[in-house]
Amino acid sequence: MTVPTLSRADEWAPVGRVVQAAYGAHGHFIDVSPIVRRFVLPGAEMDVENRTFGFDPLKGETKRLRLVIATPRGQFRRVYQEGDTIRFWGY
């Protein structure tokens, strides 16, 4: 499997079915799966930040996005930090 060259994105994730996407910190996580599903297209980029999700679940703390995507090759799981930009790519 080859990872494509990224533009401004510093992280990547495969295109697939979003099983779970939760955004927050220190046990204060909110389900943002419907929002993330809108971005999961080949070549699309998504910023992990409060503006993308429309809220700040824990002011003053660095948030994380816990992402689980089902792909033909199995489940992809990764945690991204606030400030990351994710590029989605297909198989």
Verdict on whether the full-model pTM lies above 0.85: yes
Bridge partners (DSSP) of residue 91 are none
- pLDDT tens digits, 27-83: 999 999 999 999 999 999 999 999 999 999 999 999 999 999 999 999 999 999 999
User: What would the two tokens of residue 75 be?
Assistant: 């489940």
Q: Distance between CA atoms of 80 and 17, rounded to whole angstroms?
A: 18
